[in-house]
Chains A and B, each alone.
Chain A
Amino acid sequence: MAVTADAGDHELIAAAQRGERAALDLFVRRHERWVRNVVYATVAHSSLVDDVVQQVWATVWEQIGTLVDPARWRSWLYVTARNAAIDAGVRMARERRRRVPLDAASPAIAGDADPAAAIGRTEQRHRVLDAIRGLPAIYREPFILRHVEDWSYAQIGEALNLPVDTVETRLVRARRLLRETLSDLVVDSKRQAK
């Protein structure tokens, strides 16, 4: 029996495990956004995201039969996405064939009424991204999941196999570290607010 759009994630996974491609399509549409953001947050270059995300879904289709406990799909998908992104990042670092592009913000600069301001925003964005990527993994991962998709502590805990209390503690510490690293940006905003 074909799955419907209101089917739960577990039903979609079970159907995909039976080989129903339509079920996987639905599952992908439902979760692609956060997978893309996790990949982006990990590989740092938007130019790589499409390739890596395609690899993620190809891997999911090939290996979904190995997912023994469908209730743990979130953790499984997160690890799959993260590993694919890390592999892509390693390959890119190894190749070292090109400079870092201006990334997704470049078109915005081209069409912006104030190019200097646009460049400033781009630089600020990269700085924030660098600071996040510079966090130790135990703090970075929950922070990314919290901010790319507004996941709850429970959802983050499910994805990372952590108790909710631990997720909360790590998010507090991630903020502490980022506040220190980006203190000038935070202080600037406070002055602006006054």
Chain B
Amino acid sequence: MRNPEDICPPGIDDRVERLICRCLDQEATPEERAELAGLLLRDAGARRIHAEYRRLDALAAEALRLNTPASGWGRPAGGLGSWWGRWRVAAVGAVATAAAVVAWSFLPLGRQPSNAEPQPMARTPRAVGPAGDAVQITPRPGWPVGEYQPVDHVPTRHLHHLYRDVIGIRAKDRNVIYLIERSRRSTTIVPISGDL
């Protein structure tokens, strides 16, 4: 590609070209706009470059603007539009599923005493507790505890390899449920919290 300093449009000087660009970019002062208006009336070269740059800008704007709907992050808040709204619906469904599998939580294996210290949740999908206290969880020994990541944060190509299911409800705090999450790389227990 050539050096742009060597390809100044023919027939106009550098200052006029700048003036045209400033006007097209809505950066010109009223005086500069008046000056350009006068120039365009009497200078064919300025008219030509002004028309060409205006056409160029229209082509570029059309080409660069992506006319596809925004992803979940950009949708209006509330209802099913926001990521939390959609996840809340999923969480309600998860609780219903939990009722069916809650017996599993009370199997002897599930009630083994835990030696693990309670750990603060790394990052929950919403603020927890009026004082901002993190939820304390007690993972079963031997299971890695993962960090909850809303599905909106998981790239689409990874969703195909992600499996989540409810495995139980903590007795002391019913606003916390555990998910078991399997991906190609690992299997983890993921706590989530909310108004469940």
Contacts and interface: CB of A to CB of B under 8 A. Distances in A.
Interface in B2-42: 2, 4-5, 7-9, 17-18, 21-22, 25-27
Nearest to B52: A186
A129 B67 contact: no
Interface in B33-76: 48, 51-53, 55-57, 59-68, 70-76
Nearest to A59: B153
A82 interface: no
Interface in A96-148: 104, 124-126, 128-129, 132, 134-136, 139, 143-144, 146-148
Interface string A161-191: 0000000100111111111111001110110
Contacts of B73: 25, 28-29, 32, 53-54, 57
Contacts of B142: none
Interface stretch (B103-111, B124-132, B180-188): B124-132
A171 B59 contact: no
Main secondary structure of the interface of A (DSSP, over half): helix
Contacts of B75: 29
A52 to B, nearest CB: 9
B77 A29 contact: yes
B127 A19 contact: yes
Contact of A148 (B53, B65, B125, B153): B65
Interface residues of B, number: 53
A77 interface: no
Interface string A43-85: 0001001110111011001000000000000000000000000
A97 to B, nearest CB: 11
A147 B84 CA distance: 32
B62 A134 contact: no
Most interface-central of B64, B125, B154 (chain A CB within 10 A):
B64
A179 B21 contact: no
A50 B157 CA distance: 11
A36 B155 CA distance: 15
A174 B65 CA distance: 18
A179 B20 CA distance: 14
Interface string B145-168: 000010011111100000000000
A104 B153 contact: no
Given A20-B127, A178-B56, A54 B64 contact: no
A187 B64 CA distance: 21
A19 to B, nearest CB: 7
Contacts of A168: 18, 21-22, 27
Interface of A: 19-22, 25-26, 28-29, 32-33, 36-37, 40-41, 46, 49-51, 53-55, 57-58, 61, 104, 124-126, 128-129, 132, 134-136, 139, 143-144, 146-148, 150, 152-153, 168, 171-182, 185-187, 189-190, 193
7 contacts: A26-B77, A40-B64, A104-B67, A143-B60, A177-B7, A186-B56, A187-B52
> Shortest 9 CB-CB distances between A and B: which pairs?
A173-B4, A32-B74, A128-B63, A189-B55, A40-B66, A58-B153, A51-B155, A186-B52, A28-B73
